[in-house]
Amino acid sequence: MANQQNGNSKDPKKQQLEEYTEESTGQFLTTNQGVKVNDDQNTLKAGDRGPSLLEDFIMREKITHFDHERIPERIVHARDSAAHGVFKVYDNKMSKYTRAAFLTNSSLETPVFVRFSTVAGSRGSTDLARDVRGFAVKFYTDEGNFDLVGNNMPVFFIQDAIKFPDLVHAVKPEPNNEMPQAASAHDTFWDFISLMPESAHMIMWLMSDRAIPRSYRMMEGFGVHTFRLVNAKGVSTFVKFHWKPLLGVHAVAWDEAQKISGKDPDFHRRDLWEAIESGHFPEYELGVQLVPEEDEHKFEFDLLDPTKIIPEELVPVQRIGKMTLNRNPDNFFAETEQAAFHPGHIVPGIDFTNDPLLQGRLFSYTDTQLIRLGGPNFHEIPINRTVAPMHNNQRDGFMRQEINRGRTSYQPNSLGGGCPFQAKMVEGGYNSFSERVDAHKVRGRSKSFFDHFSQATLFYNSQSGAEKAHLEDALSFELGKVQTVEVRQRMVGILTQIDVGLATKVADALGLQVPARPEHPVNHSIPADGNPQDFQPVKVKSSITASTALSMANTLKDTIRSRKVAILAADGVNAANVEAMRSALLAAGAVGEIIAPKLGTVEGDTGKELPVKNSFLTAASVLYDAVYLPGGTAALAGNGDALHFLNEAYRHCKPIAIDADALDVRRSTWFGEGETPGVFTGNAIGKLAESFMEGMKQHRFWEREKMGKVPA
């Protein structure tokens, strides 16, 4: 009212806020101190393939600010689930390559804590977002903690850590309206990606079914970067780390993932927790790809490029040990939420390379934990404490728990008897690998990093027909959510560099034209004074046209352990067949749960009461791996919820078993009668159970997708 009386109709609060409003249109990029930035694309390095330099004030300011943007939630990997377990190496053969005891001494059993996560969403987001999954393992070794901080995809979006804040800002909810949550299907993400051709390979992984895993127990893990192993003689071997799940690598359908997000956003959390509680302990084998130092430059890609894999046809993965997750956390916050991982937590026998993404992470993770966990003593939180003895001259700070005796907190000293002593290498002291570095300080990127498309093409060519179709649909879905046509068109141009057929299918779904000839996208990872011709992407002809390891169609399909089967029932159900099927499933390690029109019990044909696990109101087909319809369930032929349950399971290509005397119900479904892949019928319960369980080992019958969509 006062403003109106004074003739000033402007909102005073809005006016106050406008004084702090920043508009960057038409402006030069600067540091927070107002210094104009010449190169925002590359970290300062000792040579274009050399280590990143601590003096890079631009990179440090940018990442420090980024690391402290959210309090206290993690900026990325906020949505998580975790478990305790153990790791044991199979034999002592790795001593040829490393002196790390937990990798060379088969008599040791090393405790581990594993944290799985999604990347983009907040703590309250769904488990089933299309996203990268974090796969971080903390080894509590006798020589100190080693953190293998990886993902379920072996490559990453960017090549240099200085671009990480840009990537995450692009994929996070847009800052003007804080939407969408936990989704990459929006303009800012694809605007960034379409201008960064180095992301092409990672986009193929992200748009594949790898981005919507069935379970944390059924996804691979990768260290992403090339690390070094160093043996007792100081000899270095390049290494890439892999986790191979013993249940195989499996995914859900995209339509299914979206529905699970509504039915149970804790689906992966619940799955991991319940599996461990029921004794179905997740198991993963640790694999390594080893490359001798002298072979560093023999490949058509650069080992230091985090957007590249080493195809297993060139360097096989050697499985050297097994990790078993056998205990759930006692307290989510104290353990899962306070766990502090860091790729810089290493032990003697393991070292870094000059991968510029890894080099930036070595700075960023400690910086992040300082703000998240309140100060420099985050290592004293129980979940982070090393099991190895800890003695040093670090003192004080927020939340200090260690009570240090004595008067000396410096080194060297004589008043404390020189303690704590430095350890010689033979006494277990850490020695960094002696790598020769002789180069100029530059902001640049090695030209060996400029091939952005050959491995993206390799990944696409390695997929099965169903996987290719899912990838094409994913790109069409994501880009279909983008409102800016120019961004969509740029992405079609990028896709022509990967596969023209793929680009054509996506363009058609978007109502766009494919360029008459493949476009050569501009590389935006260049400094302001750089010559664009010197930074053009190149496409190297790959010596591998397809890799079997890249397709989930080639995964293990020999078990149904811990799979969940919905048994649809109603009063009058054939109780003997229900019990026989449940017994057969239980013997194979799977679980059969009765779903009925209401909770309580159903009365079997012999009068026996069978307990109901869920009703059609509280359960859904998307929460189960397979469905069994026993005889004596004719009443379900007129139950819309039961028919929807069956139709939806069929649409998502799941195994379905139907007793011969339940065919009236089947005739009421969309898929009706006749031979259908993955739908098993029979009279003899033993034989039906056997064929059904063999079908469950296949996980899905994706060929059904070619037969038309179910209206479910």
The residues annotated with a catalytic role in the active site are: 77, 151
Give strand ranges (E) for 349-418: 350-351
Q: How far apart are alpha carbons 145 and 388 in whole angstroms?
A: 8
Using CB atoms within 10 Å of the CB of residue 353, give its burial: 0 to 12 exposed, 13 to 18 middle, 19+ buried. Answer: buried
CA nearest to 125, candidates 182, 183, 185: 182
Both structure tokens of 277: 């509680």
The residue type of 92 is N
Q: 524 and 660 in contact (C-beta within 8 Å)?
A: no
Q: Any idea what the Cα angle at residue 429 is, between residues 423 and 431, rounded to 5°? A: 130
Q: How far apart are alpha carbons 62 and 571 in whole angstroms?
A: 65
Q: 394 and 376 in contact (C-beta within 8 Å)?
A: yes
Q: How far apart are alpha carbons 117 and 94 in whole angstroms?
A: 30
Strand partners, 222: 151, 242
Both structure tokens of 642: 């039961």
| DSSP assignments along 213-253, one per residue | BS-GGG--EE--S-EEEE-TT--EEEEEEEEEETT---B--
Q: How far apart are alpha carbons 149 and 354 in whole angstroms?
A: 17
Buried/exposed code over 420-439 (b: 16+ C-beta within 10 A; e: otherwise) = eeeeeeeeeeeeeeeeeeee
The residue type of 441 is K
- Separation of CA 9 from chain center: 52
- DSSP H helical ranges for 425-542: 454-462, 465-480, 485-498, 500-510
